[in-house]
Amino acid sequence: ARPLGLSRSLHQHVSPKQTDFNVIQSKIDPLSADFAEKKKGFEVLANKLASIHEQVTDPAFIPEKIKTKHLAKNKILPRDRITALIDPGTSFVELSLLAGHEMYGKDKVPAGGIITGLGQVNGVTCMIVANDSTVKGGTYFPITVRKHLRAQEIAMQNKLPCLYLVDSGGANLPHQADVFPSHNHFGRIFFQQSRMSSAKVPQLSLVLGPCTAGGAYVPAMSDESIIVKGGGHIFLAGPPLVKAATGEIVSAEDLGGGEMHSSVSGVTDYLVESEQEGIERLRECVKNLNYPQNNGHVTYNQTPAPIEEPLYDPKELGGIVGDNLRISYDVREVIARIVDGSRFSEFKAKYGESLVCGFATIHNHKVGILANNGPLYSESSLKGAHFIQLCKQRDIPLVFLQNISGFMVGSEAERGGIAKNGAKLVNAVVGSGVERFTVVIGGSYGAGNYGMCGRAYDPRFLFTWPNSRTAVMGAEQLAQVMESVRSEKGHADALRERVEHESMAEFGSARLWDDGVIKPEDTRKYLALALEASRGGVRQKEDTDFGIWRM
Amino acid sequence: QSNASVQPEILKSLCVANRGEIVHRVCDTASKMGIDTTSFYTEPDGNLAFSRSANNNLNLGADTKGYLEMDKIVRLAKENGCDSIHPGYGFLSENSEFAKKVQDAGLIFVGPPAAAMEAMGSKSRSKEIMTDAGVSCVPGYHGENQDPKFLEAESEKMGFPVLIKAVLGGGGKGMRIVESKADFQKQLASAKSEAKSSFGDERVLVEKYIKRPRHVEVQVFADKFGNVVALGERDCSVQRRHQKVLEESPAPGLELYSADCRQKMYKQACDAARAVNYEGAGTVEFIFDRDSPNGQFYFMEMNTRLQVEHPVTEMVTGVDLVEWQLLIASGRPLPKTQEEIQADMDKLGVHAIEARIYCEDPFNQFMPSSGKIVHMQLPQVGNPRLDVTFEQGDTVSPLYDPMIGKLIVRGDSREEALKKLRLALNEYEIVGPTTNIEFIKRVLKHEGFRGNNPTDLDTGFIPRHGEVLFANEGTPSEVYVQAAIAQAFPKALSAPSILEAANAFSSVGTAGWSSMQTREVTFKNGKESVVVTLTQLPGTNPTEHTFAAKVGDKAIGNVTASHFNGKARFKFPTGQHVNTVVSNDSNLGNVNEVHVFHRGTHHKVELATPDWITAVNKRIGAGAAAGGSFNDPDALEVATPMPCRVVRVTVKPGDVVSKDDELLVIESMKMETTVRSAREQPTKVKRVAFVPGDLVKQGSVLIEYEE
C-alpha cells in the first residue's frame, strides 16, 4: 500500500483574476473590410428607422396648426407631460413607437395616437399610458386600442402601477366597427382595469382633456383621479349628444367639468388648476401608493456590486450582424456585447451546438441566455429544454436571442423525432414560470419563433432589431411553395415582394408583434430596464408547472 | 528690563469673558503655556465651537446680554478656581469698572490698569494728556473767541484746508470746508448764518481738515516695569461705516513720506502709553494725512485691549501677542526690547493682511444678514491663517456681532500678500447668510488698492469708488446652466447611492431612438427672466449626464455634469470646472436661491416662481415668498428679508402712507434699519403684524396694505 497522503494531487490555487475562462474572446476585427461592409448595410436599415422614429417623436413634425391650438389652451405636449411626470435624469422606455406606421393609408397615426412606456415616478417604476391629442384628437384607432391593452397587459404581468394621462375624443368613429365591440376592442380596456385592480395593480388617472362615453370609465375605474379645471371633461355624452337626446342645453364645464366632478358627483378626487399642478399631484399620488421602489435588484440579491460594462463595444453589433440574414456569425459575439463584463458561463457547449445556452448577468441581474447559432436540431432542442428547467428551479429569468430559420427539416430530422423534441422545448418555454425576455436579432421563422419564445409565448417584453425578419418562412421559399401548389404561374415575384415587405421589422412593429424596434447597441440597456421593471418593486412569482413531457 | 532674579509665576487658570474666535485664540495660547482655560457662553451660543473649546465651559444663561454681566462673570470665575480673566475685544474689554471688579475679587485682569483705561476712555481728557505728553493731536480752536479775524489767524496757524463747524451742529448744517485763506471770511459768514438759523446759535469751532485721512495705528506693549515697545503699525483705512474691512501691516508707503516716519510714529505711540502708565497690549490710533508732504499724523485715540486685527502684527513681528499679554499679566517683563523687535521685523520682511468676513450684504447698503450656514468651505490655498467663529451647520444669530471670521495671509511683499489673499478668498465659500467676501474681492481687484504702493488708500476709498465696487457684474450663461442642472437634475451632481447605481432607470442613461427629455428652468434676473433649456442626451458613462444646453436662444453646446470629490464637475465645450453648487436647501432663507461658485466668484441666482405655483400658493394661502422684501413697490405686503427685532412701529391700521414714509424700525445685528413704504401711490395700512420688542423671523410679513 502506498503511504497515506502521497496519492493526493493538490489543487494549485489561482487568483480569480489570473484566469477568467468565462470571458468571451471576440474574434471580430472592426477594421476589416468585411466588417465595414456589413456595418454599412446595417446602417441603411438603422437610418431608415431612425428617420421614422424622429417623425413620430419630434414635436417639429406635429402639424403647426394642431400644435398652436394645443399650446394656446395652456396644454402641454404629450411627451413633455411625460418628461415632467418622471424623475429627472431617469430613463423613459417608450414602447411601440412604430404602432400604426403605414397602416391607415393617408391617415398618419404616429405611435398609434397613444404613448406608452415605463418610467420612474418618485422611484416607483410605472406604466404610463398617455393619449396623444395632437394625433386625430387622441381618438382610438384599432391599433390605439391594441396598444392601450398591451400596456395594461405589461402593467398586469409585471405588477406596475398604471398612470393614465387622459386626453382623448373616444373611439375614432369612421373605424367604429374595428374598435368597439369585439373581444379585444374598446370595452376590454375597462375589463382590464377591473382585473388589474382586483390584482392590486394601482391605477391613477390624470384627466387633461375629454373623456367621453366609454372613455369616462378610464378615470371612473381608476383608484384615484385628478382633473384639470377647464381642460378635463368627463361625461357619458357630450353637450351635442345631450341636446340631441333630451333637448337639454348645457355647457361642457357644467356637464362634466372638474369643478362639478370634484365637488358634486365625486367622479374625480383632486381638482387642479393647471396641467403642471396636475402632474405634480399625480407624482404625489404615486408617493402615497406605498409601493416599493425599484431599488436595483436588491429585493432578491443582497449584495449590489458595481456594474461591469461589456468588454467589447455594443456599437460594433451592427457590423457583426449586417443586413443579410444568410451570412452567419457566432452569436457569442452578440452575447459578448450585451452581458456584464462579457462573461458567459456556457452550458453544454459541445452538445446541440446550434443553440447556445448559458448564464450571465445584465446589470447584475442573473439571466439564462438561449441564443441561436443555426437551425434547431433535436439535440439543441433537448439542450434548451434542459437549460430552461435549470433556470426555473433557480428562479433565473430567461433571455432569448432569436435568429432562427426554423427547426431542421428533412427525413433524417423527422426520423430523429424533431417534432417531439421541438415540442419539449416549446413546453419548457411555456412552463418555465420565470420572466422571459425576447430579442429578435435576426430571422424569426416558422416554429422557431415558437421554440424561441415568440410573441405568442408571453415574453414580458419582446424587442426586435432593424435587420430582423419575422414570417412563417423566408419570402423566397414561400413564393416557391405557393408556385408549386398553385396551378397558375407568374405570381411568385409579386408574392415574394409582399412577404418580404411584411417580414420587415417596421411592418411587424406597426402591428404590435413586438414592443418596439431597438438599436442593437441599446439591447443591454433595454434588457436591464426590462429586468428592472419585471423583477424590481412588487413581483409575483408565477406558480406554474411543466406539462406532461412527451418522451 | 527687570532685574528680579526670581521670575513671578505664570497664571494658572484663565477664563475668557468673550465669545467667538477670540475665545479659541486666547485659549490656544494659554493651553500652550500650560494654563488651564475656562470659557463662558450664553445659551444662544451653546452650539458654537467656542462654547466647548476650553477645558471648562460655563453657561451664562439664556439672556443674550450675558457676556456683559460683570458680577456674574467674576463670581463664576472665582467659584471655578480661575486666577485671571481675559476680556478679549468688545463686550467688557474696555470697561474700567469691570477691570476694578476683577481686581477687587482678587483676580488678575489681563489688560491695562483701570486708571489707564479711564484716562483713554474719555476723548477730551485723553487729548489733553496727549498734548501734555507731546503727542500731536489734530490742531483746532474750540474756544469762545468768535472774532472772525482771530479765527482766520488760528486757521492759518493750523494750515488750510480747515473745517468750520457749528458748536451745536449736526447733520452737516453749519459746516464748511475752507480750502484757502482767501475763502475763509466768506465761508465763515455763511456757516455762521446757517448755524444761527438752524440752531439759534452762531458759535463755531475750527479744526484742521484732513481731506484724505488714512487710519494708521501702532501696536504697543508695556510691562509693569515701565518698559514700552512698539510692534509695528497697521493700516486699517478700508472701512465701511467706520467698521474696518481690511487691515494690513506694515502700512504701505509710509517710507515715501520720510525715512523716519514710522519711527516717529512708534515713539509717539510709546509716549502715549507711558503718559497713562500703560500695561499690556494697546493700540494707539493715528489719523495720517495722505496729502501732507512729509507724512503728518495726529493722535486719535488709544484702544486699551487686544485688537481684532492683531494677527497681522503677529505675522510681521513673529510675536504671539496673547502670550505677551499673559506674561505681563503674570508680572513678567517684556520678552524683547524695541531693538530686538525691529531686528526680527527686518529679518522677517513680511507683509500681512487680514480680511474681516462679515455677515452683511455690501450690495444692499451693507444690510446685516444672518441664518444657518448651509455650506462653508474654508480656503486652503497658501495655508492662510483662519480665526473663525462659525462652522458649517452653525446658525449666525442676529443677536450678536456679524463678524464670522478672519482670514489672514502673508507675503514677501504687499503685492504678493494681496494676490494670496485673493486666491484664498476665491476658495472661501459660504452659503446661508450673505457675506462680504465678494465685496472684498472687488476691493482687491481695484486699481487704487493694488500694488506695493497703492494710489488711493484712505478712509474714503469705499464711498469714493462705490460705482465700481458695487457695480452689477452680471451672471455668465455658464452659471445659469450649472444652476439649471443642479435644479432639474440634482442627482447628476452627487455620488449615487449603491441602490441608485444598481437601478437601471437611473444608471443606463437615455436609451433608444427618441427618449431625449427636454426640461426648462427659468430664473429671475431683476425683472427679466432667463430660461435655460436642457436636453438630456444619451450618455456613455452612467455617472456622467450630458445635456445640450441653451440659455435663452443662445446655444451653449453640450455640457456634461458629474460629481467629483463631493463637488459638481461640469465639462463645457470651452473647458471644465469643479464647482460648488448649492440649491433647494430648505435651510436657506429663500428656497428659490441657487448658489454657484464659479471661477472664484460666488453667484447667487434666483429661480422664478412659475405662475401655476403662485396660483397654488394663493389658493392654499401659503405665505409670501420666503425671501421677503422691503422695497417691492407692487407688493401688498412688507416682509423682512432678515430676522430682526421690532424697535418702533410708526404706523397703525387705517393710516395712509406715501412713498418713503416711515413704517417701522427694526434692529438686526446691532444695526437699526428704518423700513419705509415703497408704494408709488398712497396706500392704506391694513394690518401691522408686530409690536415693539417682538422677535421676527426672516420672511415674515410686517405690514399689510389694503388692495
Domain boundary among A287, A302, A326: A287
In a domain, A78, yes or no: yes
Residues B208, B162: contact at Cβ < 8 Å? yes
Q: How far apart are CA B556 and CA B481, in angstroms?
A: 9
Q: For A327-417, where are the alpha helices, taking DSSP H only?
A: 332-335, 378-394, 411-415
* First-residue to last-residue Cα distance in chain B: 78
Tell whether pTM > 0.90: no
Residues of A within 8 A of B612 (CB-CB) are: 273-274, 276-277
Residues of B within 8 A of A525 (CB-CB) are: 504, 508-509, 511
Closest-CA residue of chain B to A52: B513
In a domain, A186, yes or no: yes
In a domain, A54, yes or no: no
Question: Which of the pair, A487 or B550, is modelled with greater confidence?
Answer: B550
Q: How far apart are CA B229 and CA B102, in angstroms?
A: 26
Number of folded domains that form chain A: 2
Q: Is the pLDDT of residue B627 over 50?
A: no
CATH of the domain at A69: 3.90.226.10
Contact criterion met (CB < 8 Å) for A80 and B518: yes
Element of type H or E holding A68 = helix A64-72
CA distance A174 to chain B (A): 31
CA distance A382 to chain B (A): 34
CA atoms in the 13 A half-sphere facing the CB of A133: 25
Which domain, by its residues, includes A424?
Answer: 314-471+514-535
- Give the pLDDT mean for B273-279: 96
pLDDT digits (tens, 9 = 90+) for B409-445: 999 999 999 999 999 999 999 999 999 999 999 999 9
Q: Is the pLDDT of residue A305 over 60?
A: yes
Residues of A within 8 A of B492 (CB-CB) are: 89
Give the B-side interface with A, CB within 8 Å: 488-492, 498-515, 517-519, 536, 542, 545, 610, 612, 615-616, 619
Which one of B488, B513, B518 has the shortest CB-CB distance to A97? B513
Contact criterion met (CB < 8 Å) for B616 and A519: no
Task: State the amino acid at position A441 in one-letter form.
Answer: I
Contact criterion met (CB < 8 Å) for B513 and A294: no
In a domain, A90, yes or no: yes
Contact criterion met (CB < 8 Å) for B491 and A89: yes
A141 and A251 fall within a common domain: yes
B446 Cβ contact partners less than 8 Å away, ≥ 6 residues apart = B456, B465, B468, B469
CA distance B42 to chain A (A): 44
Question: What is the overall mean pLDDT for chain B?
Answer: 91
- Give the pLDDT mean for B28-49: 96
pLDDT at A303: 52
Which one of B488, B499, B517 has the shortest CB-CB distance to A298? B499
Fold held by B140-208 = Dna Ligase; domain 1 (3.30.1490)
A336 and A222 fall within a common domain: no
pLDDT at B626: 45
Contact criterion met (CB < 8 Å) for B501 and A50: no
In a domain, A492, yes or no: no
Lowest mean pLDDT among A154-168, A220-234, B511-525, B675-689: B511-525
Q: Is the pLDDT of residue B622 over 70?
A: no
Q: How far apart are CA B518 and CA B46, in angstroms?
A: 48
Q: Is the pLDDT of residue A302 over 60?
A: no
Contact criterion met (CB < 8 Å) for A94 and B514: yes
pLDDT digits (tens, 9 = 90+) for A488-535: 567 788 888 999 999 999 999 999 999 999 999 999 999 999 999 998
In a domain, A489, yes or no: no
Element of type H or E holding A286 = helix A275-287
pLDDT at B636: 82
A365 and A425 fall within a common domain: yes
Q: How far apart are CA B175 and CA B191, in angstroms?
A: 6
Which residues of B carry out catalysis?
A: 305
CA distance A88 to chain B (A): 6
A239 and A318 fall within a common domain: no
Contact criterion met (CB < 8 Å) for B513 and A525: no
CA distance B510 to chain A (A): 5
Residues of B within 8 A of A273 (CB-CB) are: 612, 615-616, 619
pLDDT digits (tens, 9 = 90+) for B577-589: 999 999 877 788 7
A261 and A335 fall within a common domain: no
pLDDT at A6: 59
Question: Which of the pair, B470 or A536, is modelled with greater confidence?
Answer: B470
A220 and A73 fall within a common domain: yes
Question: What is the overall mean pLDDT for chain A?
Answer: 91
A253 and A394 fall within a common domain: no
Closest-CA residue of chain A to B511: A522
A67 and A185 fall within a common domain: yes
The model's confidence at residue B540, banded by pLDDT at 50, 70 and 90, is low
Architecture of domain B13-110: 3-Layer(aba) Sandwich (3.40)
Which one of A58, A298, A526 has the shortest CB-CB distance to B502? A298
Q: How far apart are CA A209 and CA A132, in angstroms?
A: 10
Task: List the domain boundaries for chain B.
Answer: 13-110, 140-208, 213-469, 477-607, 612-705
Burial class (CB in 10 A: 0-12, 13-18, 19+), B419: middle
A337 and A281 fall within a common domain: no
In a domain, A326, yes or no: yes
A390 and A264 fall within a common domain: no
pLDDT at B1: 47
CA distance A140 to chain B (A): 23
Contact criterion met (CB < 8 Å) for A94 and B489: no
Contact criterion met (CB < 8 Å) for B499 and A80: no
pLDDT at B616: 85
Contact criterion met (CB < 8 Å) for B509 and A304: no
- Asked whether the CA dihedral A199, A200, A206, A212 is positive or negative, the reply is positive
A233 and A365 fall within a common domain: no
What percentage of residues in chain A have a pLDDT greater than 70? Answer: 94
A212 and A353 fall within a common domain: no
- Give the pLDDT mean for A41-56: 94
CATH number given to B612-705 = 2.40.50.100
Architecture of domain B213-469: 2-Layer Sandwich (3.30)
Task: Enter the C-alpha cell of residue A428.
Answer: 419548457
Which one of B491, B508, B512 has the shortest CB-CB distance to A528? B508
What percentage of residues in chain A have a pLDDT greater than 90? Answer: 77
pLDDT digits (tens, 9 = 90+) for B228-255: 999 999 999 999 988 899 999 999 999 9
In a domain, A394, yes or no: yes
